[in-house]
Structure 1
Amino acid sequence: MKIALKIGYEGMNFSGSQIQPDKRTVEGELLTALKNAGVIDNFESANLSSAGRTDAGVHSYGQVVSFFATRPELALPRVINNKLPRDLWAWASAEVPDNFDPRRHAVRRKYRYILTGDYDISKMREAAKLILGEHDFSNFSKKDKKCQKTTIRRIEKLDIRTGNGIIRIDIEANAFLWNMVRKIVTALTYVGSDYRSVEWIEQMLDPENYEEGIEPAPAYGLTLTEVGYNPEPEWSIDGYAIKSISDYYAKEAEQHKIMSTVMGYVVAFGKQKTE
Structure 2
Amino acid sequence: MRYFIELSYRGTAYHGWQTQANGVSVQTTLEAALSQRLQHPVYITGSGRTDAGVHARQQFAHFDREEPLALTDQLVYSLNCILPDDIAIRTIFPVRADDHARFSAISRYYHYYITRQKNVFEPGLTYHFRPELDVAQMNEACRILMQHRDFKSFSKVRANVSHFRCLLDFAYWERDADDRLTFHIKANRFLWGMVRTIVGTMLEIGQGRMNLDQFSQLIEARDRTVAGRAAPANGLYLVEVGYPAEVLAQRILFR
Tell me the TM-score normalised to structure 1 length: 0.80
Query: Conserved in 2, the CA contact under 8 Å of 1:108 and 1:173?
Result: yes
Structure 2: gaps of 5 or more residues: 116-129
1:134 Cα shift? 3.9
1:74 Cα shift? 5.3
The answer for the alignment partner of 1:73 in structure 2 is 70
Q: Does 1:228 align with 2:208?
A: no
The answer for the alignment partner of 2:21 in structure 1 is 21
Choose from 104, 124, 139 the match for 1:125: 139
Query: Conserved in 2, the CA contact under 8 Å of 1:133 and 1:154?
Result: no
Query: Conserved in 1, the CA contact under 8 Å of 2:152 and 2:224?
Result: no
Q: What is the rounded CA distance, in whole Å, between the counterparts of 2:51 and 2:204 in structure 1?
A: 22
Query: Conserved in 1, the CA contact under 8 Å of 2:62 and 2:101?
Result: yes
Match of 2:82, SS state, is coil
| Count of residues in Structure 1 that have an aligned counterpart in Structure 2 | 234
1:152 Cα shift? 1.1
1:110 Cα shift? 0.2
The residue correspondences of 1:77-116 to structure 2 (distance < 5 A) are: 77-116=76-115
Structure with the larger RCO, 1 or 2 (CA within 8 Å, 6+ apart): 2
Q: What is the rounded CA distance, in whole Å, between the counterparts of 2:168 and 2:175 in structure 1?
A: 21
Query: Conserved in 2, the CA contact under 8 Å of 1:133 and 1:156?
Result: no
Q: Deviations over 1:143-191 (max 9, x none)?
A: 2343x11011111111211021210111100000000000111111111
Structure having the higher Rg: 1
Q: What is the rounded CA distance, in whole Å, between the counterparts of 2:224 and 2:235 in structure 1?
A: 28
Q: What is the rounded CA distance, in whole Å, between the counterparts of 2:28 and 2:147 in structure 1?
A: 36
Over aligned residue pairs, what C-alpha RMSD do you find? 1.8
Match of 2:106, SS state, is strand
Partner amino acid, structure 2, of 1:237: L
Q: What is the rounded CA distance, in whole Å, between the counterparts of 2:93 and 2:71 in structure 1?
A: 12
Choose from 149, 157, 161 the match for 2:170: 157
Q: What is the rounded CA distance, in whole Å, between the counterparts of 1:123 and 1:216 in structure 2?
A: 19
State, as a whole percentage, how many aligned pairs show the same letter.
28
Q: What is the rounded CA distance, in whole Å, between the counterparts of 2:99 and 2:112 in structure 1?
A: 29
Match of 1:169, SS state, is strand
1:214 Cα shift? 2.8
Structure 2 CA distance for partners of 1:209 and 1:61, relative to 1, 3 Å:
closer
Structure 2 CA distance for partners of 1:21 and 1:209, relative to 1, 3 Å:
closer
Q: Does 1:30 align with 2:43?
A: no
Structure 1: gaps of 5 or more residues: 240-275
Partner amino acid, structure 2, of 1:214: G
Tell me the TM-score normalised to structure 2 length: 0.86
1:82 Cα shift? 1.5
The residue correspondences of 1:1-275 to structure 2 (distance < 5 A) are: 1-38=1-38, 41-43=40-42, 46=43, 48-69=44-65, 70=67, 72-73=69-70, 76-116=75-115, 117=130, 118-146=132-160, 148-163=161-176, 164-207=178-221, 212-231=226-245, 232-234=247-249, 235-239=251-255
Query: Conserved in 2, the CA contact under 8 Å of 1:136 and 1:207?
Result: no
Match of 2:70, SS state, is helix
Q: What is the rounded CA distance, in whole Å, between the counterparts of 1:211 and 1:143 in structure 2?
A: 8
Q: What is the rounded CA distance, in whole Å, between the counterparts of 1:227 and 1:186 in structure 2?
A: 23
Q: What is the rounded CA distance, in whole Å, between the counterparts of 2:167 and 2:88 in structure 1?
A: 30
1:233 Cα shift? 1.1
Q: What is the rounded CA distance, in whole Å, between the counterparts of 1:226 and 1:209 in structure 2?
A: 29
1:204 Cα shift? 1.6
Match of 1:79, SS state, is helix
